Amino acid sequence: MRVPAKVNLQLAVGPAREDGYHDLVNVFHAVALFDEVTVTGADSRAEGACAGLGVEDATGGGLAGHVARVPVDGTNLAARAAELVAEACGGPGAVAPVRLLLRKAIPVAGGMAGGSADAAAALVACNAWWDAGLTREDLLALAARLGSDVAFPLLGGTAVGTGRGEVLTPVESPGRYHWVFALAEGGLSTPEVFAAYDRLRPEAPAPAGDPELMAALAAGDARRLGAALSNDLQPAALELRPELGAVLECGRAAGALGAFVSGSGPTCAFLAASADHAAAVAGALEESGRCERAVTAHGDVPGATLL
């Protein structure tokens, strides 16, 4: 399975709920940075449905440090996804064990939902491998059990997520948008970023959508979209990683139409006017030395796809 990264065009965050989550208005946008998840048979004597998990860098060395941080035990979201599909089939004893191989091109703990994307791909792949017969609605329900961002990579494209992000409404987005992502050394813990958000904004209002952003998407207007991009978590991410502010300023100086921290960070995202402009912004970011590396991608793109 091939599965895309996401960027949040809007991330409006409400106050903490009693269950520890936050109500969100989250405009997801799938971009052409892809992980691949491969399912193969494993030793039938293995315990559990997921008998093993391997991780490779799909970028030729560009994500070596990121890949080293990926857990390869039962805490990995993709492994947990396999176990959920096995439960739906009657339990681990009812299916032949599998091994998962993750080939990573999405930054790890970078605010682009790489782990969630891998889990979404594993849901689809294991459903096919075991001929489980789960419907799309079944898979979306399992995705919601795994995490708030897992459902979107099943859908792809552009969509508004509400609730804690798992209730998705597709959005028509006729434009082709060009992006630059400045990758940072090390990750940021999503729970730590939300904790900082709660501290910085204890009286957060209920989240609401942005009509101007939706109008920009409907018109396919990159300049209007760049002006409407927003992320309520950005101040918290900048408090935890102040150096990201200089990365954002560098991208703005290079003419980016919009610059913001992606999700909970630390990846910074920049909207460009064209593919050539994206390459120029990426070059400026790399020359600045303020990021680990800069990559370009376009969006939106489809969700989890069988290769």
Tell me which residues are annotated as active site.
Answer: 6, 149
Looking at residue 305, what DSSP letter applies? B
Cα–chain-centroid distance for residue 276?
Answer: 25
Phi and psi at 41, nearest 5°, equal -70, 155
- CB 117 within 8 Å of CB 106: yes
Q: Exposed e or buried b for every residue in 202-228, given b needs 16+ CB within 10 A?
A: eebeebeebeebbebbeeeebebbbeb
Q: Cα-atom radius of gyration of the chain, to the nearest Å?
A: 19
At 286, list the tokens.
Answer: 């790399």
**CA separation for the pair 205, 74 (Å, rounded):** 37
- CB 152 within 8 Å of CB 186: no
**CA separation for the pair 6, 263 (Å, rounded):** 9
Cα–chain-centroid distance for residue 88?
Answer: 25
- CB 287 within 8 Å of CB 180: no
